[in-house]
Structure 1
Amino acid sequence: MAAFSPDSGHGTHRTATNPLTEVIRTDNVIRMDNILYTRLRLLLGAVSAVSLAALGIAALYGGSPAVWVRGVIVLAISGLLIVLAGRAFRGSRTAYLRMRIASTVGPVAVAVIVALPHDGFPVWMKAEQTVVGVLLAAVAVMLSRKDVRRAFAKSRQTGQEV
């Protein structure tokens, strides 16, 4: 798998041909490929939709304060991740790193919530959190692929973004 190969000499370099993680560099600006960006937005949009559905269930059936707080936090984080995806798509290494951290830590936090026996969350909320965890894990896998990491890596010589 080639790291980057110059194409027609216009200053554009592309990663290998994996459509899930293709990253484009144009004149030292890093950009996610449209396919990767679209898939990330779809996954994060699904997290938002599932969180909204959970808040709707809480409104209909009377959720505890823990359910409301957790539901609002997950909805806010999914919105933030969508914003960060847009910034990473436009070349922000910081946004990319924040997305990687959040999408890696999120499933761990979900696993803890689901595993705790008496934490104030009903079974339906634990099911919702499991779905959110799986979606975030998929985001983490996409963002952690070698070609994506390499595209957003710092230069070894200067410590600056490549």
Structure 2
Amino acid sequence: MTTTPLRLVQLFTALSAALLAATAILSRTDPGAVNGVVWIRAAGILLLSLLSLRWAAQLRRGSRGAYRRLLWVSIAGSLGIAALALLPDSPFPLWFRIEQGAQGLVLLALAATLLHPATRAGLQPTR
């Protein structure tokens, strides 16, 4: 099984941790740049990325369930981020939307990697 999905999820997790760190720093230095919605989303994304790390490790062992979960996260996450970035009255500040855009690109790359036949070929046969 290729290591590309794991590396992409590791990048997603690093970006998620950086997002939460930036949220914490900005809440101290510029409280107006951070609201409660930002905190909730940043923490939620970090939690999701940590779960995704576990699923990526399971995917390396050929788990079809992990494959489906990661595919769902990558597609739904990309769509959710696109909606977040495009909504005109979004409660998220510009700096947050930009970072989310970077995460959305990583998730799109993950979806493309997961949909590649070579990735699917490494999955365990169905029972």
What interval of TM-score do these two structures reach, taking the shorter chain for normalisation? Answer: 0.7 to 0.9
Q: CA deviation at 1:50?
A: 3.5
Query: SS of the counterpart of 2:92?
Result: coil
Partner Cα distance (1:66, 1:136) in 2? 21
When residues 96 and 64 of structure 1 are mapped into structure 2, their CA distance, relative to the original with a 3 A threshold, is same
Residue from 61, 71, 89 that aligns with 1:90: 61
| Deviation readout 1:78-114 (Å, 9 max, x if unpaired) | 1111111011112211011100110111010001011
Q: Give the root-mean-square deviation of aligned CA atoms.
A: 2.0
Identity %: 33
Measured in 2, the distance between the counterparts of 1:112 and 1:128 equals 14
Flag the structure with more relative contact order, 1 or 2, with Cα contacts below 8 A and sequence separation at least 6: 2
Normalising by the residue count of structure 1, what TM-score does the alignment of the two structures yield?
0.67
Return 5+ residue gaps in structure 2 as ranges: none
Distance in structure 1 (CA, Å) of the matches to 2:49 and 2:99: 14
Larger radius of gyration: 1
**CA distance in structure 2 between the aligned counterparts of 1:100 and 1:124, rounded to whole angstroms:** 27
Offset, 1:154: 4.9
Structure 1 gap ranges (5+): 1-31
Deviation of 1:122 after TM superposition, in Å, equals 0.8
**How many pairs are equivalent?**
124
Q: Following superposition, which runs of at least 4 residues in structure 1 exceed 6 angstroms of deviation? A: none
